[in-house]
Structure 1
Amino acid sequence: MFAESAFKTFEQVVIDYHKTDSVDAEMPNPFESGSIEFLLYKKCWIDSVQWHFEDLIRDPRIDPAGALVLKRKIDASNQHRTDLVEYLDAYFLDKYQSVLAMEGATINTESPAWALDRLSILALKIYHMDEEASREEADVAHREACAQKLVVLQEQRTDLITAIDQLLSDIAAGRKYMKVYKQMKMYNDDELNPVLRENKRKENS
């Protein structure tokens, strides 16, 4: 099924990222550009880099100037993540555009691509929780607690994969329909963010 295949792609990304474990590494996407597999790989690569950005910025010894640079990178990464989710949803909208919704068809609380976004993050959680559950220098209590959390995450993976495939099946059959709202982020827009708007006004005055 599609979601299981997507999760395997996400797992591959996480493994590939940790071959260098560097936020500056080039993305080694093995799939054909423009394919759904290419997009899914790119999506999880963005998530993997951002996961480690978030680790770095929580360093209490971080240089303030460096923290600001890193914060800007996190903001840009968030925007790329959102843009790619919307691009993925465009793929599904195009795929199911000829499907006629049944009478009484319902809309889901989230689109297929945002559900896949959760699955991508879940692949990262599982990888890192498994790492903690087997970290030799950690004490037994820590490893056991992480092993218990890992079981829950694996159950969540099974449930989420099932739910995504069910959603896609329902859309394909017309039992559900897609309706995607663009993310109207205001803080990146120099006309909607009052701080950016004021800075722009001063620059132009």
Structure 2
Amino acid sequence: MTMFSQFAFSVFEQSIADYHVYDNVYQPVNNPYTKDKIEHLLYAKNWVDTVQWHFEDIIRDPQIDPVAALDLKRKIDASNQVRTDMVEYIDSYFLQKYSSVSVKSEAKINTESPAWAIDRLSILALKIYHMSEEANRIEASAEHRVKCQEKLNILLEQKSDMFSSIDQLLKDIESGDKFMKVYKQMKMYNDEELNPVLYQNKK
């Protein structure tokens, strides 16, 4: 039986592979899953992560035009908000899935929700993809490839550990040994009522 973490990771890998067919941050997403499936949300989540990964590469170009850099910084800020929203949507899926679970009196709360763990797994999928590229980059030096392979091995070990920990968390929630408590992200810097730079400029 495929556990949820492995299932989610396979969707992330598909999203990453699809993105790199054209490798363009402005290409439209072509989500292959219907909106009623959790796969749709997982694919969309990772696509946003993948585009942002490449935004972060581009903005570090020392020759980037300052105006273009500012525009890109705002795109990254918007992307971060979308990523946060998607994490909350994924947590809503888990909240609904486990809504009928009878929580044990001694149940404990986890330091992070399932979706935030899934968020880290999505980023890990990107790290593995790109570190694998570097470990196999023909024009790179042998020393570079060896160092990247060593890092890749650690990332793969981390993947195994994350699979175990995420699936154990879901198992504990399902059995009532742990319970979910989701806090909505209260980002302040995009809010005209909370960011002093924004609300002072409204005067």
Decide: shared fold, TM above 0.5.
yes
Tell me by how many angstroms 1:152 deviates: 0.4
The TM-score with structure 2 as length reference comes to 0.98
Determine whether 1:56 maps to 2:51.
no
Equivalent runs, 1:41-80 vs 2, <5 Å: 41-80=43-82
List per-residue Cα deviations over 1:51-87 (Å, max 9, x = no partner): 0000000001000000010001000000000000001
Tell me by how many angstroms 1:26 deviates: 1.0
Determine whether 1:4 maps to 2:6.
yes
Within 1, Cα distance between the matches of 2:65 and 2:49? 24
| Aligned-pair Cα RMSD in Å | 0.6
Amino acid at match of 1:68: L
* Structure 2 alignment gaps of length 5 or more: none
Determine whether 1:91 maps to 2:86.
no
What SS does structure 2 have at the residue aligned with 1:19? helix
Structure 1 runs (4+) deviating above 6 angstroms are: none
Determine whether 1:139 maps to 2:141.
yes
Within 2, Cα distance between the matches of 1:76 and 1:34? 25
Q: Which residue among 14, 17, 22 is the counterpart of 1:15?
A: 17
The TM-score with structure 1 as length reference comes to 0.97
Equivalent runs, 1:22-33 vs 2, <5 Å: 22-33=24-35
Count of aligned pairs: 201
Within 2, Cα distance between the matches of 1:166 and 1:26? 35
Where does residue 40 of structure 1 map in the other structure? 42
Where does residue 163 of structure 1 map in the other structure? 165
Tell me by how many angstroms 1:38 deviates: 0.2
Tell me by how many angstroms 1:132 deviates: 0.2
What SS does structure 1 have at the residue aligned with 2:31? coil
Equivalent runs, 1:113-124 vs 2, <5 Å: 113-124=115-126
Tell me by how many angstroms 1:34 deviates: 3.0
Tell me by how many angstroms 1:20 deviates: 0.5
List per-residue Cα deviations over 1:126-164 (Å, max 9, x = no partner): 000000001011111110000000000001001101111
What SS does structure 2 have at the residue aligned with 1:30? coil
Equivalent runs, 1:187-198 vs 2, <5 Å: 187-198=189-200
What SS does structure 1 have at the residue aligned with 2:174? helix
* Structure 1 alignment gaps of length 5 or more: none
Q: Which residue among 141, 147, 150 is the counterpart of 1:148?
A: 150
List per-residue Cα deviations over 1:96-126 (Å, max 9, x = no partner): 1111111211011110000000000000000
Where does residue 185 of structure 1 map in the other structure? 187
Amino acid at match of 2:151: K
Within 2, Cα distance between the matches of 1:11 and 1:162? 18
